[in-house]
Structure 1
């Protein structure tokens, strides 16, 4: 096991694969439930023109809750849960790539950089169609839509759980064909490959720096819990401009070709 400044790094061969996948899916699902409303708010803020609807995160949260109810914060959630599959593909690719790269270079930053980028390439190839559909569902406001497509609510009746999903899929396919489901694919790669590639090196960097600044008896779990958000904030700051472009290409801009 590789160790740097008392921070243990768990490699693929050390994992209990059964527990890893079972607990990984359960934990990812719990996290997804807690952060999804903010994912929806972020997408709407990225797509809106200026401040035409919302003045910020808190304002969007209050307005959505007031006009659409709690369910409005979870539009497209069920469809989005299918990305759990790509999440497991991401982790598997990441770990196996680290193991492969370690044959040629044992530097942890290099292994993390290459593995993170490769894992994102695999994951985004699965995720983009799900993202396109779920983001169009996120854009469905009460009686209107912020995106290119609007769910057809016939005779004022409430559609079944996946009725809206089916309607959006049909509209995307009629408008853009199969390529419509990979709209903004290149923009997604340019967002998430750099994001993942820099997240892991920054995570290990912050963990090592914190380890050198804190007492030796400081729990590793605490250092890792702090390093993760710091790395995420750094990576998101660097890639957010491309993420805005990705969201607008996938949801709004009909004059953009699906790259």
Structure 2
């Protein structure tokens, strides 16, 4: 009970429409990307819950035949435990790397990295709300043994406009930072959507990009009527100690 596992492999996938599947007890997450730990890897399958052994199918389109890095995270709460990775061909389930079936997808073990530069951290995190407008944007990329970041190619746009960024390197880690503030309203409650795009080239000339959005709020005060409101505060009504029931008509 209470166990988890990680499966890293490279699949040889043919061009066209394919149906993959995972039979699991309990949950799993499956991604395909340029490197196993790249957070920009595309999620192709997910079951985030508890169940007995059951199938999850997912359809993918391969635009070009080739080798695709696959990462599967699997977890089990209690009771039974299993995981199978397979494809569907002519309505039949075929396990990946089945040596007895010519239609089985071939899988290859290359270790824990493909050697490609990988985006390993993005801040603020995608979809985050109530980000302070003074927060910085930061993207961290880890250079690989096969490709590295061309630092001169790094660009960032924020809400459709080019912005200046700082690019620094320490060992194999390249950090891209923007610190000039975010779009936000000087009021409470609803945040303002910010969309950031970071683009760069790898040393092999391949162009990459990461796009994500989050909501930001201002920490400035805004005058409202006879009082002031600060971000996140709508108002407060202290009880009158004399009667215990009189609400003060003020905010601030």
Give the TM-score normalised by the residue count of structure 2: 0.23
Bigger relative contact order, structure 1 or 2 (CA pairs below 8 A, ≥6 apart): 1
Task: Decide which structure has greater strand share.
Answer: 2
Give the TM-score normalised by the residue count of structure 1: 0.22
Task: Decide which structure has greater helix share.
Answer: 1
